[in-house]
Structure 1
């Protein structure tokens, strides 16, 4: 195993130890350590020794949170994916469908429970948290982009 492959596996282990499904963690590490601009699901299956269902589920999850994206590949019959440019900022932005989905789920929950219940209190806190995050993250990302641009100039 190469040094890069070992580092990728260590990263995947750390991600899975912190809550990410093992296959998704390994797919994420594969995208980060890939020496190519894009990969296909079948390449991930072969490289990682995972099932096509595991690869598909990992790709869907990583796409949903904005870390990877499908890219056109003229002449290829397979779907190609790559780590999204600015993936880490996207992960924390409104482009992350999970943040908005969590906010919407909390709101729907609030509407479904008694207003004075413990569930309503918890769901209200959840809604307020995601509302706050979606409101505040843009300013934080602007600072990130400003610092990043200053570093590359």
Structure 2
């Protein structure tokens, strides 16, 4: 059970801290989770979403990712995400589809719920980094094809050689980097 605590109901007396504390305590005793607006947390989540969108992620996808990252709930439904972000169900659906397709979010079963629940994967960041290999191989191949077309000794050939060498270097270093990351976390490795 989720309950949003409004700042003031129409016609209700002005709430006091003591009244709100009693209400929160009662709701928590009933097993409900209370959605409160924490401006600091909300600001931090929106700042992260801005950074992500400034670096290529669609704005709504970035906001959903930040919400899943900052929530204290173990998982959220699309309806909860839509409510939290004041967004349409279509926008949330598209964002969740994108996040699940790249492996950052996953659908999880929740007992006694008929709705799909989503959460940020525990290994999301390492898995995302691992998936970047799918981009590196085509870039390496494109650089090789460019070198063959432009000629090794041309100006374009020199630039393309640097591009090829860079991607080859990354492909050689990423596995060792991920192994060190996994070791630092006690051997947890990204699942594929």
Q: Report TM bin, short chain.
A: 0.7 to 0.9
For 1:97-108, what aligned pairs fall within 5 Å after superposition?
Answer: 99-100=133-134, 102=135
Matched residue, 1:16: 53
| Distance (Å, rounded) in 2 between the aligned partners of 1:20 and 1:9 | 13
Matched residue, 1:54: 91
| Distance (Å, rounded) in 2 between the aligned partners of 1:73 and 1:92 | 28
More helix by share: 1
| Distance (Å, rounded) in 2 between the aligned partners of 1:55 and 1:135 | 37
Structure 1 residues 104, 55: closer, same or farther in 2, change over 3 A?
farther
Matched residue, 1:37: 74
Q: How many Å apart are 1:30 and its aligned residue?
A: 0.2
Matched, 1:67 2:100: no
For 1:128-139, what aligned pairs fall within 5 Å after superposition?
Answer: 129=167, 133=170, 136-139=173-176
Structure 1 residues 91, 75: closer, same or farther in 2, change over 3 A?
same
Q: How many Å apart are 1:99 and its aligned residue?
A: 4.4
Equivalent in 64, 74, 78 of residue 27 of structure 1: 64
Gaps of 5+ in 1: none
Matched residue, 1:82: 119
Q: How many Å apart are 1:149 and its aligned residue?
A: 3.1
Deviation string, structure 1 residues 33-60 (Cα, Å, up to 9, x no partner): 0111111111101110111111111111
Matched residue, 2:28: none
Select the structure with the greater relative contact order (CA < 8 A; seq sep ≥ 6).
Answer: 1
For 1:87-126, what aligned pairs fall within 5 Å after superposition?
Answer: 87-93=124-130, 96=131, 99-100=133-134, 102=135, 116=149
Q: RMSD over aligned Cα, in angstroms? A: 3.2
- Displacement over 3 Å in runs of 4+: 102-110, 131-136
Gaps of 5+ in 2: 1-36, 151-155, 188-192
Q: How many Å apart are 1:106 and its aligned residue?
A: 6.2
